[in-house]
Chain A
Amino acid sequence: AQSVTQLGSHVSVSEGALVLLRCNYSSSVPPYLFWYVQYPNQGLQLLLKYTSAATLVKGINGFEAEFKKSETSFHLTKPSAHMSDAAEYFCAVSGFGGAQKLVFGQGTRLTINP
């Protein structure tokens, strides 16, 4: 069965600092991996996705993530945090059981300090 673990329910960084949000997955089949962002009182928006092409995936708003099969990881990074990046971030995996179903991690709330 697929599962996703996000290390750290809450991450706080200073404006301009590196953002690193950790995601590890478990999958018995080649996974498709996603990062979504949720701003307050809104739905989830797709940041980026990995679908077995390039292992380094670039997304919107300057975010990128690297798929590392040996580490079963798909960590999200951004070189310089902006106040507008404050939100909750979800890692998700699909590729099993058809219907493009997703299994989500628990989420990481990112706070940006001025």
Chain B
Amino acid sequence: NAGVTQTPKFRVLKTGQSMTLLCAQDMNHEYMYWYRQDPGMGLRLIHYSVGEGTTAKGEVPDGYNVSRLKKQNFLLGLESAAPSQTSVYFCASSYLQGVGQPQHFGDGTRLSIL
């Protein structure tokens, strides 16, 4: 009963390095999301996807790219990491059908950019 799984859980990068965060869900959800969490700011939506092969920008998309090649996976990429991207990143997923569907969250990836 894994739900939403994020890898890695922790990572330290140097400024300018690139990396990819992986999110996998086993609930057959259509919608997937990437958020960043910063102190005093709640969670802010970076990018989201409404289905395999589709992505869209959220509130704070600059500096990030995403891909959804398979329904169960949603990847978040940082091409050239900056200290401002130090944050905790959360992936979530949700059903398509119905209204007011809750999102299901992974345990997060703590990312530090030096």
Physical interaction between A and B: yes
Tell me the A residues contacting B by CB distance below 8 Å.
Answer: 4, 9, 32, 34, 36, 41-46, 49-52, 90, 94-95, 98-102, 104-107
**Contact at A32–B48, with CB atoms within 8 Å?**
no
Instruction: Pick the interface stretch among B13-21, B63-71, B79-87, B105-113.
Output: B105-113
Residue of B nearest to A43 (CB): B105
**Contact at B48–A45, with CB atoms within 8 Å?**
no
Which residues of chain A are near B31, meaning CB under 8 Å? 99-100
Residue of A nearest to B42 (CB): A104
**Contact at A95–B99, with CB atoms within 8 Å?**
yes
> 1/0 per residue B61-97: CB within 8 Å of A?
0000000000000000000000000000010101100
Choose among A41, A45, A52, A105 the residue that contacts B105 (Cβ–Cβ < 8 A): A45
The reply on B28 being an interface residue by CB < 8 A is no
**Contact at B102–A49, with CB atoms within 8 Å?**
yes
Q: Give the number of residues in B that approach A within 8 Å (Cβ atoms).
A: 27
The complex places the Cα of A100 from the Cα of B58 at a distance, in Å, of: 12
A32 and B100 in contact (CB under 8 A), knowing A99-B48, A101-B45?
yes
Helix, strand, loop or mixed for chain A's interface? loop
CB distance from A108 to the nearest CB of B (A): 10
CB distance from B22 to the nearest CB of A (A): 15
Choose among A46, A90, A98, A99 the residue that contacts B42 (Cβ–Cβ < 8 A): A90
10 A-B contacts (beta carbon < 8 Å): A4-B42, A41-B108, A42-B107, A43-B90, A43-B106, A44-B90, A44-B105, A46-B104, A99-B50, A100-B95
The reply on B101 being an interface residue by CB < 8 A is yes
**Contact at A104–B43, with CB atoms within 8 Å?**
yes
* Extra inter-chain contacts (15) besides given A100-B103, A102-B45, A106-B42, CB under 8 Å: A34-B102, A41-B107, A43-B106, A45-B105, A51-B100, A52-B100, A90-B42, A95-B99, A95-B100, A99-B31, A99-B48, A100-B94, A100-B95, A104-B42, A107-B40
The reply on B41 being an interface residue by CB < 8 A is yes
The reply on B4 being an interface residue by CB < 8 A is yes
The reply on B56 being an interface residue by CB < 8 A is yes
CB distance from A34 to the nearest CB of B (A): 6
